[in-house]
Chains A and B, each alone.
Chain A
Amino acid sequence: MTTAETESVESFRARARAWLADTMPRLDENAPLPVLGDDDHEWVRARELQKTLYAGGFAGICFPREYGGLGLSRAHQRAFTEETAGYEMPVQLNIPTFSIVAATILDMGTEEQKRERISAAIRGDEVFCQFLSEPSGGSDLAGLLTRAELDGDTWILNGQKTWSTSAYAADWGLCLARTNWDVPKHRGLTMFLVPTVAPGLHMNRVKMVNGSREFCEEFFTDVQLPASAVVGEVNDGWAVASRQLFHERNAVGGGSPFVSGLAGRPRALGGQSPFTVAKATGRAAEPGVRERVGEWVALETVKNQMVARVSRAIGTGTLPAPGAALLRLFHAEAAQRSTDLAMDVAGAQIAAGVGTEEGIAGRAGVSYLSRQGASLGGGSSEMARNQISERLLSMPREQSNDRDIPFNQVKRGRS
C-alpha cells in the first residue's frame, strides 16, 4: 500500500470509535474482582474478542498485510488503543503473543512461519508463549542446557524450561535449545517453534505468591520437531533470541507497536492503584495520602512520556536498540513505587480484608508480595542496568568466565 492510499489516522480513529461502540462489550467497572489462579475462561474470552477484532478489520494493526495485519502505523495503533478505553479487549494476547513472539517471528522467521503463525494469532486462532528460562538460570540465557539433536531430518528435544507465563493457554512456544556443545555458548544455540501439545512435552502449572497459577514449567522428553520448526539459522539461535529479548524489553517497558488496548494486565498484578486504595480506605482527604497519589499520577505519566520519547528515538536511530533497556528499567521502578505507595496509602488496612474477602486494601497487600516480579519478568533490572552501562555508556563489560570456551568445558554450579 502506498502512503497515498493509507487511511488517515483521524479517519481510522473515527471508524474505530463507531465500530467499538457498536461491537465491543463495555468493561463493567463494578464487576467483582476476578479470583487469582483461575483464569482459564479469560483465555477463552480473549480468543473470542480477538476474533471479533479480526472480523471487524481492527486486528494486527501494525503487522504487515501479507501476514494478516493492516500494515498501518504506530499512530494508527495508538489512536485505536486510545479509543478502546472502557471496552473489553483481549489484552492477554499483547504480551507475549503479539509484542514478543509474533514480533520475533516477523523479524527472523521463515516465510511459511510468518504466513501461518502471525496470521493465526491475528485471527484469534492461536496464542504463543516463550520457552527461554530454565531452572539453572534465566539471566544467563545463552548458558541454557535444553538440547536438540538431529536424527535424520528430525530434531529431538530434551530438557526443561520454567517460568513460562501462560504457556498452558498457548498453542506454540518459542524455544531456545543447544544444538552444538563444542563451541562457545552463543554459537551453539537454535530457536524452535514448538507446539505446546507435542507428544513428549509435559507441562505443570506453578503457583505464585499472589495465588496466580500463570507460571508453567515444561519437561521435554524426546519431543520430535521437523526441520521447518527452526526459526532463523541452525546454531544462530542467539541472533533470534537477541531480537526476542529486544522485543521483550520493549514490550515490558511499554514501547511495542504490537500492543493493542491497554498494555497492562490489571488482573494478574492485583491492579490496586494508590488512587483506588485512597478512595476505598476513605483516606483521600489526608494531605500525606494526596501527596502519594499525586506522586503516583506523576510517575505513571512520566512512564508514558518516556515510552513515547525512547520509542521514537530508537525508531529514528537517535538511540541504539539497547535503549529499550531504559524503558525496561524505568517500568520496574515505576511499578514498584506504585506498589509501595499503594501500601502506604492502605496503611493499617492492608493486613486484613473485608469479611472473608481480600477487598481492595488486601489486594494491594497481595500485590505488594509479588512486587519484585516487575524487576524479574522480561529480564531482570540488573541485566537492564548491565545493558545500559555497557551498551549505551560503553563501560567495560562484566567479567565472564565462559567467553570463547566450548560450552561443554564451562563450569556450571559449584561442583
Chain B
Amino acid sequence: MELELTADQKLFQASARSLLEKDHSLDRLRRLEVGEPAWDRDSWQRGAELGWAATIVPEELGGGSVSGEGVRDLTLLAEELGSVVAPGPFLPVNVVLAGLVAAHGTGPDHTGTIEALASGEQIATWAVYEPGDQWSPDAARVTATPTGGGWRLDGTKDRVESGSEADLLLVTATTPEGLAQFLVPTAAEGVAVSPQWALDLSRPLAEVRLDSVVVDAGAVVGTPATTAEVLERQLQIALLIQCAEICGGLDKMFALTVQWGFDRYSFGRPLASYQALKHRFADMRTWLEACHATTQAAAEAVQAGSPDAAELVSVAKSFVAERAQWILQDCVQLHGGIGVTWEHDLHLYLRRATSDRALYGTPEDHRRRLADLSSL
C-alpha cells in the first residue's frame, strides 16, 4: 500500500471496494461447480465503468487515471482486487492494453481495440506460454508465416488466462524475422480454445490451438524494432499486478491470523501470548512491510519509466512471490486444522499466490534475470 493516498485515489479505492462487496464473495468462489464460470461479462463491465481497464491508457485513447499516475492507480486497484481474490480478466486485459499502448504509433493502428478494451466492451488476453514450457517468451514455438497480404499462425499456447472468455488473443509468435505479436480474434477460423485445469479457482485458464489461422497485416502489434520493448512493458505490468494483488491478499490474511491469535486460546492463554508464535507474527509483519516496500518501489519505477524498472519488477516478483508463500503457509499453520479445510478462506489466497508465483516467471527465473541485468 502507498503510504499516503490523495482524496481522488481514496475515492477510486472506495468505489472499487464497494463494487467488489456487491458483485463478489469468497463463498461463491468456494462453491463453484466444475465448468461454472468464475465471473461474467456484466460484472467486468461494471468494473470497467469504474476505470479498471483505463488507468494505463491515455485519455486520447479512451482511458484516464484519477491521480495522473496510471501505473500507481493500477497498483492500488490490484491490491483491492487481490484482497478479495476477485475473479475477472483484470490482469490479462491490462497486460494487453499495456502492450497495445506501448506499441501505439509504431505499427498498425489499434485505437479501436484499445478503446473497446478500456470500456469493457471487449476482453483480450495474452497468449504467451506454450505447453510444457517454463517462462521463455523469447522462444515461442508458435510460428507466424508471411502470406501474400498477411500472416498464417500455427502452434499451441496454454495457460492463457480467461482464454475461453476472451474476444481477442495477443499471440507472441516467431516469424522468419524474429519475435512478433499479433491480435487474433478467438472467433477466427482455425482457433480452438479449450478449458485447462487451474490451481486458482478464480482465474480460468485455457489451451489455445492455432491451426493455419490467417490474419491480415493489420493484426501485427508494433514493429520488429519495438517488439522487445513492448514485451517488456507487458511483463512489467503483469508483474506489478501480481505483486500488488499478492500484497492485498497478504494484508487481509495476516490481519485475519493476528485476530485469530488473540481470539483462540490454548492452555488458558491466547495463542498471541506464546513467544514462539509472537516471533513468527513478527517475522510475517516484517516480510509484509518489505513486500509493500518493494512493490511500491517497482510501481514508482514503472510509472516513471526509469531505466531500472526492469530490474525493480524482477526484484519485487522474486521477493514478494517467495515471501507470500512463507507468510500464507505460516498463517495456515497458526490456524491449526481449520486452516487446511476447503471451508476456510486461506486456501483461496494460497491458490492465487501460488499461481502468481508460477506465472510470468518464477522467483528463480527472475533471479537469473537479475544476474543477467547485473554485470555478472
A residues with a Cβ closer than 8 A to B are 275, 278-279, 284, 287, 290-295, 297-299, 301-302, 305-306, 308-310, 312-313, 316, 318, 325-326, 329-330, 333, 382, 384-390, 392-393, 395-396, 398
CB neighbours (8 Å) of B273 from chain A are 395-396
Give the distance to chain A from B224, nearest Cβ to Cβ, in Å. 29
- The answer to whether B279 touches A382 (Cβ under 8 A) is yes
Say if the beta carbon of B3 comes within 8 Å of chain A.
Answer: yes
- Quick check: which of B20-28, B98-106, B178-186, B282-290 contacts chain A, the rest being far away? B282-290
- The answer to whether A291 touches B282 (Cβ under 8 A) is no
Task: Choose from B275, B296, B374 the contact partner of A297 (Cβ within 8 Å).
Answer: B374
Encode B306-334 as 1/0 by CB contact (under 8 A) with A.
00000110110011000000000000000
- The answer to whether B282 touches A302 (Cβ under 8 A) is no
- The answer to whether A389 touches B364 (Cβ under 8 A) is no
B residues with a Cβ closer than 8 A to A are 3-4, 258, 261-262, 269-270, 272-273, 275, 278-279, 281-283, 285-286, 289-290, 292-294, 296-297, 311-312, 314-315, 318-319, 363-364, 366-372, 374, 376
- The answer to whether B258 touches A393 (Cβ under 8 A) is yes
| Given A298-B318, A395-B261, A396-B272; A326-B289 close (CB under 8 Å) | yes
| Given A294-B367, A299-B319; A393-B374 close (CB under 8 Å) | no
- The answer to whether B371 touches A396 (Cβ under 8 A) is no
- The answer to whether A290 touches B376 (Cβ under 8 A) is yes
Give the distance to chain A from B303, nearest Cβ to Cβ, in Å. 15
CB neighbours (8 Å) of B319 from chain A are 298-299, 302
CB neighbours (8 Å) of B315 from chain A are 297-298, 301-302
Q: A312: nearest residue on chain B (CB-CB)?
A: B3
Give the distance to chain B from A284, nearest Cβ to Cβ, in Å. 5
| Given A290-B371, A295-B318, A305-B294; A386-B278 close (CB under 8 Å) | yes
CB neighbours (8 Å) of A312 from chain B are 3
A308 to B372, CA, bound (A): 26
- The answer to whether A293 touches B374 (Cβ under 8 A) is yes
Q: A285: nearest residue on chain B (CB-CB)?
A: B376
A390 to B319, CA, bound (A): 26
CB neighbours (8 Å) of A316 from chain B are 3-4
Q: A291: nearest residue on chain B (CB-CB)?
A: B367
- The answer to whether B278 touches A390 (Cβ under 8 A) is yes
CB neighbours (8 Å) of A333 from chain B are 286
- The answer to whether B270 touches A393 (Cβ under 8 A) is no
Main secondary structure of the interface of A (DSSP, over half): helix
A278 to B282, CA, bound (A): 33
Counting residue pairs across A and B whose Cβ atoms lie within 8 Å, the total is 132
| Given A299-B319, A302-B290, A396-B273; A329-B282 close (CB under 8 Å) | yes
Give the distance to chain B from A158, nearest Cβ to Cβ, in Å. 35
- The answer to whether B286 touches A329 (Cβ under 8 A) is yes
CB neighbours (8 Å) of B371 from chain A are 290-291, 293-294, 297
- The answer to whether B3 touches A389 (Cβ under 8 A) is no
CB neighbours (8 Å) of B370 from chain A are 293-295, 297-298
Q: B308: nearest residue on chain A (CB-CB)?
A: A301
CB neighbours (8 Å) of A302 from chain B are 290, 293-294, 315, 319
A11 to B246, CA, bound (A): 40
- The answer to whether A385 touches B368 (Cβ under 8 A) is no
Give the distance to chain B from A335, nearest Cβ to Cβ, in Å. 14
Most buried by B among A297, A384, A398: A297
| Given A395-B261, A396-B273; A305-B278 close (CB under 8 Å) | no
- The answer to whether B285 touches A392 (Cβ under 8 A) is yes
Most buried by B among A293, A308, A316, A382: A293
CB neighbours (8 Å) of A390 from chain B are 278
Q: B368: nearest residue on chain A (CB-CB)?
A: A290
A385 to B281, CA, bound (A): 8
CB neighbours (8 Å) of B297 from chain A are 305, 308-309
Task: Choose from B293, B372, B376 the contact partner of A279 (Cβ within 8 Å).
Answer: B376
A295 to B311, CA, bound (A): 12
- The answer to whether B279 touches A275 (Cβ under 8 A) is no
A330 to B275, CA, bound (A): 19
Give the distance to chain A from B285, nearest Cβ to Cβ, in Å. 5
CB neighbours (8 Å) of A306 from chain B are 289-290, 293-294
CB neighbours (8 Å) of B311 from chain A are 297, 301
- The answer to whether A309 touches B278 (Cβ under 8 A) is no
- The answer to whether B3 touches A309 (Cβ under 8 A) is yes
A136 to B278, CA, bound (A): 26
Task: Choose from A308, A329, A395 the contact partner of B283 (Cβ within 8 Å).
Answer: A329
A-B contact list, 19 entries, CB within 8 Å: A275-B374, A291-B367, A297-B367, A297-B371, A298-B314, A298-B319, A302-B294, A302-B315, A305-B294, A308-B293, A309-B3, A309-B292, A310-B289, A326-B285, A326-B286, A330-B286, A389-B285, A395-B261, A395-B278
